[in-house]
Amino acid sequence: MKLEDRVAFVTGGGSGIGRAICELFASEGALVVAADLIPERAVETAERIVSAGGTALGLEIDVADAGKVERAIDAAIAEYGRIDILVNNAGLSVGDRITDLDEARWDLNIDVVLNGVYICSRLVIPGMAERQSGVILNIGSVNGLLAIGESAYSAAKAGMVNLTQNMAIHYGDDGIRVNLIAPGTIRTPIWDERLKAEPGAFEQLAPWYPLGRIGTPDDIAKAALFLCSDDASWITGVALPVDGGLTAGNYRFNKDLQGVREKPAT
């Protein structure tokens, strides 16, 4: 078991990637706190874990609200005594080009995606530093590594990369490792609205991926397990794309280029 008796606090743990991380971590011996804006979802994740023989607690949290974060962290510590692993996974994405984005929607992206990491991490780090041991994993996005739309969300995700690096250098000597995973397209409920408008979106996206498919929540959970376990004990400050090769280069451009080269001379 890679996470025996570690206490893992996962924001956005009621759905998609967060739920997959909660379930995989629990199966590796972690005591899991699934925390979500929608408490019923968090409780459902915990119930799934308990009925599979694991240990878990479902809690309400709003990562953009320091008071609510503090209450959830206190409840987790009251139950399990400490937090060893924090996974900053909660997220949403609203809007695209800045000229179509009002300030409220800009703020919502930044508040949840970027400020949420700041709020949750600063409340958990002192306990980790006291024990000289802890892991923080931020779930960023390929959108934070290059421009592929969704301006506010992407700017917030890019901010997460730098915040990850700064936290890694500031708290390494407190025994805390801080890393980020940048997922490519993953089949989760975050896509529900878009799929309603564009039912073929996943089929349209798959050919952009060198590995020929979009990802699953488990693809991310497995990388998260590695980075949060002692197998990664000398890894901190990295932004790891888990994206089927999307950001390795421009695959479609490359294919077009080969097509041009392969054309017989006229």
Ligand X SMILES: NC(=O)c1ccc[n+]([C@@H]2O[C@H](COP(=O)([O-])OP(=O)(O)OC[C@H]3O[C@@H](n4cnc5c(N)ncnc54)[C@H](O)[C@@H]3O)[C@@H](O)[C@H]2O)c1
List residues near ligand X by CB under 6 A.
11-12, 14-18, 36-38, 41, 61-64, 89-92, 112, 139, 141, 183, 185-186, 188-190
CB of 236 to ligand X, least distance (A): 20
Instruction: Identify the active-site residue in 2, 68, 118, 153.
Output: 153
Round to whole Å and give the CA distance between 214 and 203. 9
Following DSSP, what letter does each residue of 78-146 receive, concatenated? HHHS--SEEEE--------SGGG--HHHHHHHIIIIIIHHHHHHHHHHHHHHHHT-EEEEEE--GGGTS
Round to whole Å and give the CA distance between 186 and 204. 13
Does residue 190 contact residue 92 with C-beta atoms inside 8 Å?
Answer: yes
Residue 65 or 79 having the CB closest to ligand X: 65
Does 68 participate in catalysis according to the annotation? no
Cα dihedral 113, 69, 3, 141 in deg (nearest 10):
0
Instruction: Identify the active-site residue in 80, 118, 157, 209.
Output: 157
Chain length of the chain: 266
CB of 52 to ligand X, least distance (A): 19
Residue 147 or 260 having the CB closest to ligand X: 147
Phi, then psi, of 18 in degrees rounded to 5: -60, -45
* Residue of 8, 48, 59, 5 lying closest to 32 (CA atoms): 8
Does 157 participate in catalysis according to the annotation? yes
Residue 128 or 221 having the CB closest to ligand X: 221
CB of 219 to ligand X, least distance (A): 11
Residue 138 or 172 having the CB closest to ligand X: 138
CB of 182 to ligand X, least distance (A): 7
Does residue 177 contact residue 206 with C-beta atoms inside 8 Å?
Answer: no
CB of 101 to ligand X, least distance (A): 17
Residue 118 or 129 having the CB closest to ligand X: 118
- As annotated, the active-site residues are 153, 157
